[in-house]
Structure 1
Amino acid sequence: MSIPRLYVEADLSEGAEASALPGQGHYLGQVMRKREGDAVLLFNGRDGEWRARIASLRKDRATFLPEARTRPQQASPDLRLLLAPIKRDAMDWVVEKATELGVRLIQPVFTARSVVGRVNGERLASIAREAAEQCERLDLPAIARPMDLHAALDAWDGAPLLVGDARGKAPPLSVVLAGRSLPIGLLVGPEGGFTGPELDAVRRRPFVSPAALGPRILRAETAAVAGLAVLQALAGDWAAPT
């Protein structure tokens, strides 16, 4: 049976008992049918990954006893996603896949055509946590507070930011990425696309580069995941030795 892998907030070191997060005790006892003494893997985004034992398990509460570090801490690639909020199921899916793809920051941005006016950050953080546990990354992506598009760009640190251009006048993403390396961000608009004035304002930013995502019109969630995959393949850590 596979060893459960869990994110915890406690510091991890040999012999120092660590507490489970709410819900993890129920998951271990009722879903995974684990008992005290069984093995788990733990990570907290700071101390690497640790092999541990379940020290106590009572209903929804659990504690762990770390025994040995199995992997040292490594930072995720500085790959960022700015995304206009989309409908809940699609947004959940994007956050899950962006986490699997190693994204460090997910920044929701409100645009003129955004069809969703509220973002449940706690829900998205929970989805990201579960995805990180499954895909064996050592940290969690930051789910930033939603911002107006222009406010988010005003606060941007100047790293290259690529924006999908549905007008068909931009060079292919592979051409735009030639010779570039991380940090890089990807900006994806709402289902209805950016308005003309929005796209013009975005393109006037010196750090923004328009890029074509192929000859077909992509849904927002498809554009986000496809674009991130290309960024990882051409400028990220997919080509790095494992």
Structure 2
Amino acid sequence: MSHYDFSAQRLFVESALAPGADVLPPAEALNYLLNVLRLREGDPIVLFNGRDGEFRAELREVTRRSARLAVGAQLRPQTPRADLDYCFAPLKQARLDYMAQKATEMGAGRLLPVVTRRTQVRRVNTSRLRANAVEAAEQCGVLAVPEVGEAADLPEFLAGFPAGRLLVFCDEDAPIANPVAALAGREGEGISLLVGPEGGFDDVERESIARLPNVVRLSLGPRVLRADTAAVAALAVVQATIGDWR
């Protein structure tokens, strides 16, 4: 990744990608290419779709209302999504946008809204979550755009949680204050990171979470963090200790 050209303009598309293919950008993408980026005939663009890898392309047959993208050589093969779920109590929209973008940048493979007793926002716009994840992937060279799951109540989430999977539960009352020490040697069959709402989990929820067979209670330090800040802090600790930063 150190040789990656971060100045390249990248565009996520739904179309299949392969050398020689043509992609017809939808209206929103076309407006972005022609009126925001101000690309013209023959200008390069980098395309990815989360399935086929990343490809060089050129803008062809440009008119005021249409254009096509001629796909050239593959630049990078597709990488798999990390088996790292970011599970979060929904937030108000602007902070939820930020959280989705940062979780994508930090390497989450899935974004899963979990509604708790103290969750203030009960309805989640999953299309907007997906759009924010795509935007972050475009800007940061990410190939594997996270999946976005439908919102589930905490009891439903816990009832369906796989037995062999590691649940990292952000808890200000964790018995081990050092988060790195708490995670040491705790790799599992995939990782789910759970961050609660403003005000945290109540006592009944804490007890329910603690009953799962493979749980780590994770402290995020002596300061109280907002939920969107906790997302970045917790993902950084997990990735550095048992994730793909090692």
> Under a length normalisation based on structure 2, what TM-score does the superposition of the two structures give?
0.91
2:146 matches 1:141: yes
For the 8 Å contact 2:90–2:115, the answer to whether it is kept is yes
Which amino acid is 1:226 matched to?
Answer: A
Q: Do the aligned partners of residues 21 and 141 (structure 1) sit closer, same or farther apart at CA in structure 2, a change above 3 Å counting?
A: farther
Q: Secondary structure at the match of 2:59?
A: strand
Q: Do the aligned partners of residues 214 and 117 (structure 1) sit closer, same or farther apart at CA in structure 2, a change above 3 Å counting?
A: same
Match of 2:233 in 1: 226
| Aligned with 1:30 (options 35, 52, 55) | 35
Which amino acid is 1:160 matched to?
Answer: L
For the 8 Å contact 2:24–2:68, the answer to whether it is kept is yes
Shift of 1:111: 0.5
Shift of 1:7: 0.7
Which digits, 9 at most, give the CA deviation of each residue in 1:24-64, with x for residues without a partner? 10011001110122111001111111001112444564421
Which amino acid is 1:217 matched to?
Answer: V
Q: Percent identity of the aligned residues?
A: 44
Q: Which runs of 4+ in 1 moved over 3 A?
A: 56-62
Distance 2:7 2:52 in 1: 22
Q: Do the aligned partners of residues 57 and 153 (structure 1) sit closer, same or farther apart at CA in structure 2, a change above 3 Å counting?
A: farther
Distance 2:138 2:79 in 1: 15
2:185 matches 1:151: no
| Aligned with 2:178 (options 151, 172, 178) | 172
Q: Do the aligned partners of residues 107 and 58 (structure 1) sit closer, same or farther apart at CA in structure 2, a change above 3 Å counting?
A: farther
- Gaps of at least 5 residues in structure 2 are 1-5
Match of 1:212 in 2: 219
Q: Secondary structure at the match of 2:139?
A: helix
Which amino acid is 1:72 matched to?
Answer: P
For the 8 Å contact 2:41–2:61, the answer to whether it is kept is yes
Count of equivalent residues: 239
Shift of 1:224: 1.3
Q: Secondary structure at the match of 1:47?
A: coil
Q: Do the aligned partners of residues 27 and 115 (structure 1) sit closer, same or farther apart at CA in structure 2, a change above 3 Å counting?
A: same
Distance 2:39 2:171 in 1: 50
Match of 1:187 in 2: 194
- Gaps of at least 5 residues in structure 1 are none
Shift of 1:179: 1.8
Query: 1:1-242 maps to which residues of 2 (within 5 A)?
Result: 2-59=7-64, 61-158=66-163, 159-181=165-187, 183-239=190-246
Q: Do the aligned partners of residues 102 and 61 (structure 1) sit closer, same or farther apart at CA in structure 2, a change above 3 Å counting?
A: farther
Q: Secondary structure at the match of 1:23?
A: helix
For the 8 Å contact 2:166–2:187, the answer to whether it is kept is no
